[in-house]
Structure 1
Amino acid sequence: MIKWTMINMNLLLMFLMIINNLIFKNNNNNNYNNITKYNRNMELYSIQSPYIKNMNVIKRGYHTSLNNNLIIVQKNNNEDNLKLNNLEMNNFHKWLVGFTDGSFYMKGTENNFKFFYGFHLHKDDISCLEHIKNNLKMPSNINIRETSVQLTVTKKQWMSDNLLPIFDKYPCMTMKYYSYYKWKKAMIDNLNGMTYNNNDVLNIKNTINNYEVMPNLKIPYDKMNDYWILGFMEAEGSFEVIKTRNICSFNISQHQRSIETLKAIKSYILTNWKPIDNTPLMIKNQLLKDWDSSIKLTKPDKKWSY
């Protein structure tokens, strides 16, 4: 991951390991194993990803808060390290689709239909946009504002040549799956010379953004993968530490229409993510004991979260 989520995940897991290690150490537990030291290859993570492990993808650096002061330790990057091989590029594309599933927008103008693809992030995440721009070779510049950064492309032919192959191969897995297909059809029709009146523009815009299910299409949850989840976590996830109750949690909230996406994420994680080998035995056993109940779906107000 490139954005805040990976930093927070690292800190959260380190926090958990430090607490557990202190407990085991103080109890003279024979299974104690000091794993709190940060490892360059991300050994603290329960998912071992070549894209995460081997690449300098965290371009924006490590961020943490200590006594309300922001501490930044920036990784050194060079052009050779940032070049992705074919496998890593495929994994980047999967991550990008997951990130886009949480950061996708389209607009219609008053008398025309204008197609957008892009992201609007906090200014601290500019390296995330640089990474996306460089790997996609996007023909747009990053717009830097006082507190935010924005990367947007509107060139239809470029999007047709470069984005459509990615999203056709690695589909969205939220209701934006349907929005993408409507957006894609409208853009291809426009490239083929179709013109619109004001009513057409309004109808197309409303159709794309209404999140209605298309009866001839089904969201392919069977294509769920680690990288899509990581990207989606970047865009939609949040971490929480409740020190008074010694609780650490991770949450993703979605509108109730996307509950099937959360169910698919839950099923994938419970099936494919397990504690890593160097986890102390007592911690591992406790995690596995409660594994099936470790992720819960709740319904606060009109949103579902886990």
Structure 2
Amino acid sequence: MTTGAAWRDLIDLRSTTEERNPRSLELDTLDSPDLVATILGEDARVAAAVQARTAHIARLVEVCVAAIAAGGTVHYVGAGTSGRLGVLDAVELVPTYSATPDMVTAHLAGGDAAMMRAVEGAEDDERAGADLIDAACGERDVVIGLAASGRTPFVGGALRRARERGLATALVAANVHAALAPLADEAILLDVGPEVVTGSTRMKAATAQKLTLNALSTATMVRLGKTYSNLMIDVRPTNAKLVARTVRMLVQATGAAAARAADVLEAADGSVRVALVALLAGTDVERARAAADRFAPDPARTGDPAGIRSAAESLR
């Protein structure tokens, strides 16, 4: 049990994630339909809370794009549900955009084991957060703290050390009074209000963090040239579903017959970029490959970060 001065510090903390929700005070008296309606009614408030931070998220996108383009890495650092959401976002970028851990990686308090089972005390280890930054971060990297409460010591240790080293920092929290906000160059404080079940931040707070990470990482990948229009051109076709998706994508982008798209994709050794340029320009794979190389992805190329449009136009 926490006692003395430490306890006084805790009760002085303001936290929107720990307040009681006046709309769910009778929660345990409700039948199932009303329970579900109450929960989903609160969830419906989340998207607006995230959208209200659009400008903050967009600024962080630019920071991440610049870091990755310069050879740096974006690091998600979190504990519990927040940390697991960071892991989920980072690992899903691999098959979707062929992103590598050198581009975006996640660190969970307590290590890999904490993904499946809570590691007691890990989130309170501020020193471990600082040590993580020293061990994992280079001078061009970005450190993004994920903490629903906005005060997790592990995250605080990481942000503080990142600041000391001059790294770019950000915080994603669901507490508008987040104590760690001063350690972040960009603090994205999501005002989702109190949870249906008081303090259960796996609910609205987690949903808000997931939406934020979705927007952040997706926008970053698009700006890095990982899409053509709204199509994923760096997807890794590692199974039958994804192979079919790449062929379908070529058909959608160019209007080519499926059999033709599949043949060009095979001739391009599975490179969607090369196949796409060949089909758009109506040329052979070798010329398309050379053009794709000349117009490599570049976030500074306004309107065509992937280079696909420029490559195809150069061949017409």
TM-score bracket, normalised by the shorter chain, equals under 0.3
* Larger RCO: 1 or 2 (CA < 8 Å, sep 6+): 1
The structure with the greater share of residues assigned to helix is 2
The structure with the greater share of residues assigned to strand is 1
